[in-house]
């Protein structure tokens, strides 16, 4: 295991983004290969997911961890939370490679950070997995699924986008295409169905997709074509890079707001969406509900207080949209400016240099 934040051979091309720490671990006994990235702890300890996924190579895993850690910093800051951003990756297939011994090895790896990184479950891991990790590391977020709160925040973000687009915010009859109906996506579909939205869903797991479609009266479409489906709102709720050079020309929506992280494959896609007249709710603003819930959990507060805070996501999204329109910048740039302003203020109070 080594800290590589200053290793130019690996991180030189990323050093400009100011990551505090990047750690690698190979556990010889279990064969576990994992990465932890701590992006910024200016506001507090870094909260981030434990993602287990069979990446094509180590560089792809590292790139994902770096992007996700930075997003967590922006997400926490933009939401007004006293948390920083980090992420961890376990390289492997969660169906075939996950064992108790492997999870405990990852827990021991996390424990070396002495509480600077607080893990929560993500793609490929569960609350039960976090409890196993918690046998070796503390604190961990292992009680209470944040997915419903993430979905609630996305719902309020969608409502804010509809209002900014000239409607009263009602979802009745609004066609929403939910890409990915795992924990967050299925919770969002449930909320949208209760609001009488017209639903289209897709998932790489055909059984899961069909089950959600049948349960909530949604139209099921092929996951390979879902991004180009005609709809009012495209809600990505699976893996990132949904908007990329290949998919952008075929988009047939007027709003993008979902629970996925890193929806844009590259920063320039924000301007491309704006040029197409597509209103984009930056992912780190709209999918922050789960993070709010987790901070409330860490503070020992009840679910009611968390829900009240999560319902304010719409107001923050509306603020970002208004700022973007007032200044002629993209919604992504407006959201980043909001987050970075808070980081700068906190860094000045501490007498430290702000993370970029």
Q: In this predicted model, what pLDDT tens digit does every residue of 112-159 receive, in sequence order?
A: 999 999 999 888 998 899 999 999 999 999 878 889 999 999 999 999
pTM (whole model) above 0.85: no
Residue 62 to residue 18: CA distance in whole angstroms: 15
Instruction: Give the containing element (helix H, strand E) for 91.
Output: strand 84-91
| Interstrand relation of 219-220 and 84-91 (parallel, antiparallel or unpaired) | unpaired
3-state helix, strand, coil in the chain (%, to 5): 45, 15, 35
Q: pLDDT band at residue 329, thresholds of 50, 70 and 90?
A: very high
The pLDDT of residue 155: 98
In this structure, are residues 189 and 210 in contact, taking their beta carbons and an 8 Å threshold?
Answer: no
**55 CB neighbour count, 10 Å cutoff:** 20
- Of 226, 246, 217, 223, nearest to 177 by C-alpha is 226
Distances in Å between the Cα of 1 and the Cα atoms of 26, 108, 216, 346 are: 7, 12, 47, 31
The pLDDT of residue 7: 46
- Of 282, 278, 337, 289, nearest to 76 by C-alpha is 289
Residue 147 to residue 121: CA distance in whole angstroms: 10
Residue 150 to residue 164: CA distance in whole angstroms: 21
The pLDDT of residue 327: 96
Q: Is 87 helix (H, G, I), strand (E, B) or coil?
A: strand
Distances in Å between the Cα of 281 and the Cα atoms of 20, 151, 244 are: 28, 14, 16
The pLDDT of residue 261: 87
Q: Note the pLDDT tens digit of each residue in 232-268.
A: 999 999 988 999 999 999 999 999 999 998 899 999 9
| Interstrand relation of 198-202 and 175-179 (parallel, antiparallel or unpaired) | parallel
Instruction: Give the containing element (helix H, strand E) for 283.
Output: helix 283-286
Residue 230 to residue 215: CA distance in whole angstroms: 22
Considering Cα of 95, then 99, then 105, then 109, what sign does the dihedral take?
Answer: positive
- Go through 157-172 and write b for each residue having 16 or more CB atoms within 10 A of its CB, e for each that does not: bbbbbbbbeeeebebe
DSSP states of 11-58 as a string? Answer: HGGGGGG--SEEEEEEETTTTEEEEEEEEE-SSSSEEEEEEEE--SSH
- Strand 32-40: give its sheet, edge to edge: 2-3, 21-27, 32-40, 84-91, 46-53, 117-121
The pLDDT of residue 353: 60
Q: Note the pLDDT tens digit of each residue in 127-136.
A: 899 999 999 9
R_g over Cα of the chain: 19
The pLDDT of residue 352: 66
Instruction: Please calculate the CA angle 166-167-168 and round it to the nearest 5 degrees.
Output: 130
Which 8-state DSSP code applies to residue 258? -
Across 270-294, average pLDDT = 95
Tell me: pLDDT of 185 over 70. yes
Peptide bond into 139 cis (omega under 30): yes
Tell me: pLDDT of 11 over 60. no
DSSP states of 194-242 as a string? Answer: HTT-EEEEE-SSHHHHHHHHHHHTPEE--TTTGGG---SEEEE-SSS--
The pLDDT of residue 1: 43
Across 291-315, average pLDDT = 89
């Amino acid at each position: 295991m080594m800290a590589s934040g200053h290793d130019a051979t690996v991180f030189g091309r990323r050093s400009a983004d100011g990551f505090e720490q990047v750690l690698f671990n190979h556990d010889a006994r279990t064969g576990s290969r994992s990465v932890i990235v701590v992006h910024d702890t200016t506001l507090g300890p870094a909260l981030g997911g434990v993602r287990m996924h069979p990446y094509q190579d180590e560089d792809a895993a590292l790139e994902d961890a770096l992007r996700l850690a930075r997003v967590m910093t922006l997400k926490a800051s933009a939401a007004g939370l006293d948390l920083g951003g980090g992420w961890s990756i376990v390289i492997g297939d969660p169906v075939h490679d996950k064992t108790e011994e492997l999870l405990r090895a990852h827990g021991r790896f996390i424990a070396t950070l002495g509480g600077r990184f607080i893990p929560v479950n993500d793609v490929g891991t569960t609350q039960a997995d976090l409890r196993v990790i918690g046998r070796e590391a503390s604190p961990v977020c292992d009680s209470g699924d944040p997915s419903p709160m993430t979905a609630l925040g996305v719902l309020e973000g969608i409502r804010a986008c509809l209002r900014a687009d000239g409607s009263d915010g009602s979802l009745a009859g609004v066609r929403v295409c939910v890409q990915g109906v795992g924990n967050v996506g299925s919770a969002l579909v449930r909320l949208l169905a209760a609001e009488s939205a017209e639903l289209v869903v897709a998932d790489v797991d055909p059984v899961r997709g069909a089950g959600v479609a049948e349960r909530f009266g949604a139209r099921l479409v092929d996951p390979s074509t879902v991004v180009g489906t005609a709809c009012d709102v495209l809600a990505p709720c699976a893996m990132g890079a949904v908007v990329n050079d290949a998919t952008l020309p075929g988009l047939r929506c007027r709003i993008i707001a979902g629970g996925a992280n890193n929806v844009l494959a590259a920063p320039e896609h924000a301007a491309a969406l704006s040029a197409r007249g597509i209103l984009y709710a930056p992912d780190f603003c709209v999918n922050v509900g789960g993070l709010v819930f987790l901070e409330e959990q860490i503070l020992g507060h009840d679910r009611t207080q968390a829900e009240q805070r999560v319902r304010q996501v719409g107001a923050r999204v509306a603020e970002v949209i208004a700022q973007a329109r007032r200044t002629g910048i993209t919604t992504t740039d407006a959201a980043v400016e909001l987050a970075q302003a808070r980081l700068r203020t906190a860094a000045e109070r501490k007498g430290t240099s702000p993370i970029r």
